[in-house]
Amino acid sequence: MAERGGFGRGFGGRGDGEGGRGGRGRGGGRGDRRGGRRGNKSEEEKWVPVTKLGRLVKSGNITSLEQIYLHSLPVKEHQIVDALTKDLKDEVMKITPVQKQTRAGQRTRFKAFVVVGDGNGHVGLGVKCAKEVATAIRGAIILAKLSVIPVRRGYWGNKIGLPHTVPCKVTGKCGSVTVRMVPAPRGAGIVAARVPKKVLQFAGIEDVFTSSRGSTKILGNFVKATFDCLMKTYGFLTPDFWMETRFSNSPYQQYTDLLSKQATKAILPPTEEIPPVEV
Amino acid sequence: MSGRISVPSNYLTLWCCYLLNYLCFQISVYLCTSGMGEVILGMPGQWAHDYREKADHYTSKIGGLPDWPDLDIPVSGKLLLCDLCGGKLCLMAQIYAPLSMAERSIDERVIYVLGCMKKDCGSNPQSWRVLRLQRCKQDIESKDEPLKAEQPEEESTSVAEDKPTSQSSSVKVCDDEDSDSDIDLDDLAQALEQAATLASNSKKQDGTKHTRKIVEGPVAKKLIYDLTTPVLPCFYIYSQRNSSEGRMDKANFVGGSSISLKEIEKSSGNESEGESWEGEAYEYDKALGADRTYLKFKKQLDAYPEQCFRYSYGGNALFPVANVPKPGACKICGSARRFELQLMPPLLYFLQEASDDSSNFSIDGWTWLTIIIFTCPKNCCSGTCDEKSGNSCRCIVEEEAIVIQDD
């Protein structure tokens, strides 16, 4: 039998993978940090997918996140998002201590808010509490990647160039905070408070007017309300979507048929050519 | 900062505080686990050279053909057929799981997990069958099982005089959230006493301890010429204990972020615009597609990403979803079945990788997240066994499997 890939690499690879993690970028300022996946290829290869979607992504049958969004498949592994997106940047928005009163004094944990995005229509927000700061950040990055959503952009007026603003007025709510986003003309920039501005920058929206209401001092809710607002951009039915949908097979059905070579009565996918009939 | 506790005046609490740093991990584990639950992981070993090669019934393996020991009565046909379609079941996993309990020890005990590969049956839980085959012996053997899997002593601490060593070093790791409940100091003292008694008990007589034979591969690679039964790609299993919390942190590391702690402290110091994040409270993990239970499941998986099954006799299963149906009762003795082992998704991934070449079947019909196997706690026999006369007999009993699907 030909040699199998997985196991041999699995045994030897464990030691190798842990060595390549030392180089984390250091630098001042609060700018965006690029996800440094370039040097860590060995870790990606060690991903053993758990869900069916993960197996499809790993085998290369699914090539873009849009196929996943089209069928609303839940993403349960962050490696899926890593594999399907390029240049996903992440940034820690805030780390706050969260305290709980116990009999032996106060127990402090750290809550990390991380936003990930590629600046071109995909953004995710992750919140994680943990006893150590590093654990909280790591966990929040993973949760943010699990929550990556598509953001719809549109035009304010003339449809010249690429979409730059929200397609319509949308509003999102979390707790008592409501955030309303209104389309803005080109050059207006993101007119928002510092905290939601970051999320909108990661989403790839260039111009927008925002208005907020409620107790925006609770910045956790403020950020989540902005994120909720972005989620709704694709939920809004505009006249572009009035045409009837042509339904296609979910990747689960599509690839089950293709991969079952044995079945003689397999349903042929429509892209296959019909062999010529001999007269 | 988390470890800082003001020095109390009470002697008991003072003693507990010294131990807290060492024992916090172990004690929280004792509060979480139900006594004898240590988890043994089945990790993938070598591939078989031929998928139909014969091993012995002491081998733990995935796929291939089942190795029946010498049976007085051969395994009846209908146990090997699918309930739904009537076709032949194929062996998914064969696990050698001997037991040594206080009253009796069962050395020859094997668990076979059989499944149907047809497309429609694969997602239906009724097509799975679990068989437990054992030889009942009357004589009680010596307590020291010569075949131990591994002896990870590196985590044993030497704080208290009668500190449990072998048990504490190989216990299941709990989550942050579970162990974050208040460790009340009285409970701590109680738990320490319990731990001490457990240790002394374990040294006097073996508790319910389970051993596993490490198998590198069968010596005689004979082939079984049974071409009618469908066969999955075959590989052997070696066992490993589930340990080391530190490993989980490393496994969770995503090789992407280049954020350092210094930057965070700098950024948090730059709060000059009058924003202060107030009113934050503890929040459970949540993502768009994954809930808290699943995230905990995934965290355990990420610690050992290649684990094929988790074995924990009488321990707690790792549920990926919250509502899991309860197991039924044993058909022979009527006692409620107990968790023994569960199959994990990396198994499916390995089988799929291997099956790309051969086109006998499709495993794509299988979309389970985990298969949890419950067995009778009394290891009862099927009734034809005559224990009083001291004869050793082999019996085969059907057990229960709960399949949790991946939606």
**A19 — contact with chain B (CB < 8 Å)?**
no
Strands B99-100 and B53-54: unpaired
**Distance, CA of B95 to CA of A140 (rounded, Å):** 38
Q: What's the half-sphere exposure (Cβ side, CA atoms, 13 Å) at B236?
A: 23
**pLDDT value for A11:** 39
Per CB-CB distance under 8 Å, the chain A contacts of B269 are none
Residue B406: per-residue pLDDT: 79
How far apart (Å, rounded) are the C-alpha atoms in residues B86 and B120? 12
Tell me: pLDDT of A151 over 50.
yes
CA distance A65 to A234: 15
Structure confidence by residue, pLDDT tens digits, A170-214: 999 999 999 999 999 999 999 999 999 999 999 999 999 999 999
Cross-chain residue pair B256–A37, CB shorter than 8 Å = yes
Q: Contact A50/B264, CB-based, under 8 Å?
A: no
Q: Give me the residue from A48, A76, A131 closest to B349, CB to CB.
A: A48
CB-based contact (8 Å) between A94 and chain B? yes
Residues of B in contact with A195 (CB under 8 A): 275
Instruction: Output the pLDDT for position B224.
Output: 58
Would an 8 Å CB–CB cutoff place A34 in contact with chain B? yes
Strand partners, A181: A170, A210
Task: Using alpha carbons only, give the angle A234, A236, A241 rounded to the nearest 5 degrees.
Answer: 85
Find the helix or strand (DSSP H, E) in which A82 lies: helix A78-84
Helices (H), B276-393: 292-303, 346-355
Spatial distance between the Cα atoms of A265 and A267, rounded to a whole number of angstroms? 6
DSSP state of B302: H
- B113 phi and psi angles, rounded to 5 deg: -110, 120
State the smallest CA–CA distance between residue A43 and chain B in angstroms: 7
A246 touches chain B (CB under 8 A): no
Which has the closest alpha carbon to B38: B149, B203, B158, B135? B149
For residues A124 and A144, what is the distance between their CA atoms, to the nearest angstrom? 5
Average predicted confidence (pLDDT) for chain A = 81
Determine the distance in angstroms separating the CA of B256 from the nearest CA of chain A, rounded to an integer: 4
Q: Kindly determine whether residue B275 and residue A219, on different chains, have CB atoms separated by under 8 Å.
A: yes
Please list the residues that pair with B240 across neighbouring strands.
Answer: B41
Residue in this structure with the two tokens 């319509």, named with its chain if needed: A168
E strand or H helix that includes residue A190: strand A190-191
Average pLDDT for residues A17-32, to the nearest whole number?
39
Per-residue pLDDT for chain B (407 aa), expressed as one digit of tens each?
444 545 455 666 656 555 554 444 333 333 333 335 688 999 998 888 887 888 888 888 888 888 888 776 677 777 888 888 888 888 888 888 888 776 777 778 888 998 888 877 777 888 888 888 888 765 444 333 333 333 333 333 333 333 333 333 333 333 444 444 454 566 666 656 666 555 554 444 333 344 444 443 444 456 656 667 777 888 888 888 877 544 544 444 444 444 555 555 555 555 545 566 777 888 899 898 889 999 999 999 988 899 999 999 888 888 999 888 888 888 888 888 888 999 999 998 998 888 765 555 666 778 888 999 998 888 887 766 555 545 567 777 888 888 888 77
Q: What single letter denotes the amino acid at residue A185?
A: P
A40-79 burial string, b = 16+ CB within 10 Å, else e?
bebbeebbbbbbbbbbbbbeeebeebebbeeeebbbbbbb
For B264, the closest of A39, A133, A139 (CB atoms) is A133
| Percent of chain A surpassing pLDDT 90 | 65
